[in-house]
Structure 1
Amino acid sequence: MRGEPELYVVDVCGTLVFDDTTLGLVRHHFARDGTRPLRAWLVNAVATPRRLPWWGVAVAEKLTGQQLLKHFAVRLLAGERSEALEQSAQEYAKRLLAERRIIPVWEMLEAPFATGRVVLASASLEPVVAALASLTGARYVASRLEQRDGRLTGSYATDLTGRKPQALVEKYGETLLENPVSVMTDNASDRALVERASVAYIVLHRAAHRKRWHGVGANVIEIQP
């Protein structure tokens, strides 16, 4: 341990809130817009657990080791106005804070949020992470969407999956992770970030997920189903 944390680096999906916020934002956007019913149906079909399309994507992800669902959701945004997605993100972020917070995590972060010591580090989409950061007074790094002339292309400009340490350093400087840092996450791809922390908190939604963190010295926050 390197002393009390000066900064809290916090994952969003499954850590700060229950939702997969990439899928949640895309679903909210098309439901709000109402002009693309086929896209709304498609994202609901593949993102609703235990429906046949969801099982198909889940099996494909297992076989390929790739996060196909989030790329499919992003592809559905092709042609959408970036400004419209940002407006959807503002609404969705407010709903997340009102209804979908993971309370034990928020209780631990009350003082760090109040003193500006939180950085949200998420591979979710920048519009929703930026909205959450704005509402909570945090800083952030997030995956960026490619756009041209104010329209989304349906592709990522930068996907932060497994790249959060690099993104934090690129945005906030080399010394950010050299000071005592607390990391909070449920995401196995954050292992490198957890191993750099002076103190780490792993959010467990299932007891079986504990084995993902074998060999990592961390505190555990168990979330009851």
Structure 2
Amino acid sequence: MFLVTPTTVLNPVALETRHIPRQFLGRSMLIPWRGVSLAVILRLVFEIEMLRYITSLLPFVAAALVWPDKAIVIAQAPLLMFMVIYAVEMRFLRLTPAARDALLEPGEADRVLDLLRVRAVSILSRIAAGRGLTDGSLHLVVEQSDMFRVAPLTLVSVQSEDGPQVLRLDPGEEALIRDTLFQPPLTEHALHRITLAQDEQIRDVAFDPRNLSAHARLAALMGQG
């Protein structure tokens, strides 16, 4: 999981938004700064389309080096190159509609998404209470890559309608999300199965601070004290 907040990226300008939910994959180049493992960084690099295209075409480069007398012929085969890229991107890294339909057990998506909503509302309510918010809905936005056969890439951010903006989270809020959002039976892999099956990369759970109970606000104040 990559927790996206202005303090975890080197280019916070990439987080600017005019609408919510703000989508990042395929639209913005995020440069991780802290709180991200090497595996996640490599997975972010793999998300760059141009690098994947170049990697798919490496066999043509190798063939040109092995058979230099055929290099010109190989370089003049754009249709074959396109077919290779298409096969890798659409057949190897992504599921066909039939495969999507067969991916989930009956009721699996409802169970996982219900648990995601419950945990997201709990997280957002605690953030809202801790900040003393009274208006401006908060959104927990979970975005996942639609690629198959590679490790899931999950971007999580808290976005506010007050701005709108991607919130700058304090260490306690970051720890809250890391410690509570993805715990069995709700895992990144479980959610990724649903992302692939439903072909839907964004999950957006909203919470209105006006619905926060007085008890929750008092508990937040006592916790800060």
Q: TM-score, normalised by structure 1?
A: 0.24
**Larger RCO (CA within 8 A; separation ≥ 6):** 2
Structure showing greater radius of gyration is: 2
Structure with higher strand content: 1
